[in-house]
Amino acid sequence: MSHYTLHGIWASGPTYKVALMLALTGAKFDYVHVDLLKGAQKQPDYVKKNPFGVVPTLISNTTGHVYCQSGAILEHLAHASGKYLGQTSDEQHSAKGWVLWGWDRLARGVYRSRAAKFGFMKMPPDVADHYRADALSALKFLDERLAAHKWIAGGAQPTYADIDLYGVVHYVPQAGMDLSDFPHVAAWAAKIEALPHFAQPEALMSKG
């Protein structure tokens, strides 16, 4: 029996973060495609599960508990599995802080630049330039962090913050930016991809 059911879409960075964390922690899960283009995430049946009307949504097949928002889901999975949580309270606090930073500073620029490049989001050129500049600034900051630390939270082992931020960095090339401009980020991403049970989005989720 699967431990969880994940509702999302394979092309979504936040959905991929959760699917990857499930894979890395060895939690079996079923996957339910949510068709964002048809507005499935705003339909009453879905909003009953996730009042935010976004993906992903994770449901425990054991307790029926519903988890929303990718960062909070990753933290739950770290606690539930005892993996990728952080070895000390300082690391755990640092991991949570970096997840919040990632959503505030990194994800917005990368995800929206990607959406604009693929035509999912229409915006004036100056707005697109603003998001690109935001992404590049955040990547520079992250590169400086990883020049001094092996893993995001500062410990000897990866935490859920690494998984969370990787779920943004994975899409940097699709956003039209060159990851080789940030060598420490690129090296760190390669270490994530070398973790046992790592998989790409299309290997974890069906496309429809």
Helices (H), 29-176: 44-49, 70-81, 89-101, 108-117, 125-148, 160-169
> Which of 47-51, 118-122, 149-153, 203-207 has the weakest average pLDDT?
118-122
179 pLDDT band, cuts 50/70/90, is very high
Block residue for tokens 């699967």 = 2
- CATH code at position 138: 1.20.1050.10
Rounded mean pLDDT of the chain?
A: 97
Residue 71: the pLDDT is: 98
Same domain membership, residue 177 and residue 121: yes
120 pLDDT band, cuts 50/70/90, is confident
Is pLDDT above 90 for 88? yes
Same domain membership, residue 175 and residue 103: yes
Is pLDDT above 90 for 37? no
In degrees, rounded to 5, the angle at the alpha carbon of residue 54 between the alpha carbons of residues 121 and 91 is 105
pLDDT in tens, 161-170: 999 999 999 9
* β-bridge pairing 66-68 and 57-60: antiparallel
pLDDT in tens, 191-201: 999 999 999 99
The boundaries of the domain holding residue 44 are: 4-83+197-204
Same domain membership, residue 100 and residue 18: no
- CATH code at position 42: 3.40.30.10
Same domain membership, residue 53 and residue 119: no
Residue 119: the pLDDT is: 86
Round to whole Å and give the CA distance between 99 and 192.
16
Q: How many domains does the chain have?
A: 2
Round to whole Å and give the CA distance between 182 and 165.
14
Is pLDDT above 90 for 182? yes
Round to whole Å and give the CA distance between 177 and 195.
24
SS3 state at 33: strand
Same domain membership, residue 114 and residue 76: no
Same domain membership, residue 151 and residue 120: yes
**What DSSP character marks residue 105?**
I
Residue 208: the pLDDT is: 80
Same domain membership, residue 99 and residue 179: yes
Measure Cα distances from 158 to 56, 115, 118 in Å. Answer: 23, 29, 31
Same domain membership, residue 158 and residue 78: no
For the entire predicted model, the pTM comes to: 0.96
